[in-house]
Amino acid sequence: MGKRTTIVQSNYIPWKGYFDLIGWSDEIILFDDVQFTKRDWRNRNLIKTPNGMLWLTIPVEVKGKFTQRICDSVVSVENKNWARKHLSSIEQNYVKANFFQQYRPWLRDLFARAEGEAFLSKINHIFLTAICEVLGIKTKITWSMDYGIIDGKNERLIDLCKKSGASEYLSGPAAKDYMDLTAFANAGLKVTFADYSNYPEYTQLNPPFEHGVSVLDLIFNEGPRARDFMKFSAKQL
C-alpha cells in the first residue's frame, strides 16, 4: 500500500477540516518556508461568542511585503501578552460548553507553553500536535525545512512528495484551481482532493451553527466524541 502525504502551511488552532487532512495522511509536511501572508489562517482563527464570531489573532511582526517566511515570523514584542488574552477569550466563551472543564487544564498548559515561544511556526506546532493527540491522530508531522524546497509552485510539492516517499498527494479542494495534475501524473504521483462537504452538526453554543470555527469548539462541546463528527475516523475522503 502506498504512502499518502499532505503538504500545508501551519495554521493557528485550525478548523476540523485541517485535522481531517492530517488524519487521512501518513505524513503531513508543514510548508512554512514560504511567504507569510497577512490576514490569513497562519496566525489567526475564529471562535464563537454570544455576539457572533470572534477572531483570535497572534500579532506578528511583518518586515517587508514579500520576503518574510512563515518560519521566520515572530510575535510582536509589543504584544507578548497575546496568549493570556486568547486564553481569557476562550474561557469566557466556552465555560458553558459540556466538556470545557475537562480540557481547561490542558488548554491552560498549551497557552503557557505558547506564551514562551517567539516563532509563529513553533506556536502553531505546539497546538497542532496537542490537538492531534486529543483527537487520536498519529500522523507523522514534519517540516518542509527538513527536506528543502526547489523553485516552482507544482515542482515544490512534487519534490516534497518524492522526498517523503509518497505515492499519493492529498490536497484541500481549493488547490484544484492552480495544480498541474499532468505534472503530478508524470511524476508517478496520484492526487486526491479532500471533500469538506456534508459535515454533521454537533452540539454547539450560540446558534446559528457554524462549521468554519477552530476545532477547539468541537472538542469543548463534544469531548471524547469529537472525532465522531469528523471524517478521518471513517476513512472517507
Residue 174 has a pLDDT of 87
Strand-by-strand arrangement of the 27-30 sheet = 140-143, 27-30, 4-8, 168-171, 190-193
Nearest residue to 8 (alpha-carbon basis) of 110, 164, 142, 196: 142
Residues 157 and 147 sit within 8 Å (Cβ to Cβ): no
Band of residue 62 on the pLDDT scale cut at 50, 70, 90: confident
Residue 63 has a pLDDT of 80
The residue ranges of DSSP E strands in the chain, in sequence order, are 4-8, 27-30, 44-49, 52-57, 140-143, 168-171, 190-193
Band of residue 149 on the pLDDT scale cut at 50, 70, 90: confident
Flag whether pLDDT at 210 surpasses 90: yes
Question: What does pTM read for this prediction?
Answer: 0.95
